[in-house]
Copies of this chain bind each other. A is one copy, B any other.
Amino acid sequence: MPDNKLTAPARRSDTTRAAILDAARERFAADGYERATIRTIARDAGIDPSMVMRYYGSKEGLFAAAVAVDLKLPDLGPLPRDEVGSALVTHFLAMWEENEVLTALLRVGATNQAGAERMQGIFQEQLLPVARQACPDPEQVPVRAALTATQLLGLALTRYVLRLPPAVALSRQEIVAWLAPTVQRYLTAPNP
């Protein structure tokens, strides 16, 4: 049978470990880092709190293991220049709604220094390369990527964390229609 590459030797406790990670993601997303307790996470997973410590070492270790983010940003290379905004916004919306990890990370990043640094890392390692594909002037890539981040994270904040009613009520298509031109301009327009 084809195993995972060359990682773990398939321990007997894998289902428990996975249950812990699932519960942790849910709690971190709903409550943030400080209010999500190991005890409630363990109860959600149906096991003893000490198991969490044994498998993940500490609360920080658990958070690090639970929130492993891959934005899976698309390759903008083959795309027409004027569709990158719409492609990015659509992709972000889909990622955010299928995966509570992103909400967890945003919540924690807003309170916790370690969380904020993790988000800086994701920005640098995942968004910057994509912006490099869309932005003509290489020197401007960080600025353009940061502007894009303000709009995309602002949407996530108001829609998934603060839940401003009008932002929640918007349909995905409406959001794309409104935000795509903004992101498009931030990435590809000449300096204003």
Partner-B contacts on A (CB < 8 A)? 31-32, 34-35, 106-107, 109-112, 116, 119-120, 123, 142-143, 145-147, 149-155, 157-159, 161-167, 169-170, 174, 177-179, 181-182, 185-186, 191-192
Contact = CB atoms under 8 A, between A and B. Distances in A.
B177 A192 contact: yes
Contacts of A35: 34, 111
A123 B162 CA distance: 11
A34 B192 contact: no
Nearest to A110: B110
Given A32-B112, A111-B111, A143-B166, 8 more contacts: A116-B162, A123-B164, A142-B166, A143-B170, A146-B166, A151-B182, A154-B155, A177-B192
9 contacts: A32-B32, A34-B35, A119-B164, A143-B174, A146-B158, A149-B158, A149-B164, A150-B167, A153-B154
A162 B122 CA distance: 12
A118 to B, nearest CB: 10
